[in-house]
Structure 1
Amino acid sequence: MGIQVRRRAEARWTGPVPTGVGHIRTASKALDSDYSLRSRESDDAPLNTNPEELIGAGLAGCFAMSVANLLEQDGYQDVQVNANSVVRLEETDAGYRITEIALSVTGTADALTDDDFARITDQAKRACPVSLALAGTTITLAQTKVVS
């Protein structure tokens, strides 16, 4: 069997949810940040993150890496991929739900065609481990190829 890894993170919460604060940290120490309900509901919570932002970052990072890998496997050189995500959190009758994640991706590579880029980004959406983990959420994809 291939690679098998475990990635660790921890979170701590203090106080009532509306006014409290949490702290989240990854074992790699790449992330060591506060999070709060305020950061979830508003853009004016300085230096705080929220779970939805972290999910979006994870998806964008995984997706960009997957697209780059597939482009390189197809023989493209000088590959650069940028992915952005917008995570939509909605209050529903069943409670808060992540109802959609909109991905947008741009890429450059020598001799890359629009058709090949569309095929590869679609393939990446079906293969990215984070996309697969989020299978219960609608993930839309907007593709833009930029030729250098």
Structure 2
Amino acid sequence: MKGTNPEELIGAAHAACFSMALSLMLSEEGYTATSIDTTAVVTLNKTDGGFAITDIALQSQIVLPDVSPAAFDEIIQKAKAGCPVIAGAEGQHYPRYQLNP
């Protein structure tokens, strides 16, 4: 079978939602990112009942001048809480990011 599978679509939804929430939170705090690039790594494992998504790790590369690491960490937490796709999903989703000045 060719094409995108449902697990990839779920990962893409998580990545897009987090990027949009992050952009909104940055804007509300007076910052403008030069770029936000988020990908999702979806882990699919075999369980007793079949296959299940056991983790979705978001990895973001953000170019954002003039922000302190402490302020940025706070904004990341707000973005995670403000993303309805992450908030509505079961399990843990850990945004991992690299901030580039």
Classify the secondary structure of the residue corresponding to 1:64: helix
Q: Distance between the aligned counterparts of 1:81 and 1:117, measured in 2?
A: 13
Gaps of 5+ in 2: none
Note if contact 1:67-1:124 (Cα within 8 Å) is conserved in structure 2: yes
Q: Distance between the aligned counterparts of 2:16 and 2:100, measured in 1?
A: 19
Q: Which amino acid aligns with 1:54?
A: L
Shift of 1:77: 2.8
Larger Rg: 1
The answer to which structure has the higher helix fraction is 2
Shift of 1:89: 0.9
Gaps of 5+ in 1: 1-35, 37-44
**Identity of aligned pairs, percent?**
34
Note if contact 1:68-1:80 (Cα within 8 Å) is conserved in structure 2: no
TM-score by length of 1: 0.63
Q: Which amino acid aligns with 1:146?
A: N
TM-score by length of 2: 0.89
Write out aligned runs for 1:45-124 (5 A). 45=2, 48-124=3-79
Q: Which amino acid aligns with 1:140?
A: Y
Runs of 4+ in 1 over 3 A off after TM superposition: none
Aligned Cα root-mean-square deviation (Å): 1.5
Q: Which amino acid aligns with 2:88?
A: A
Note if contact 2:26-2:33 (Cα within 8 Å) is conserved in structure 1: no
Shift of 1:115: 1.7
Shift of 1:69: 0.7
Count of equivalent residues: 101
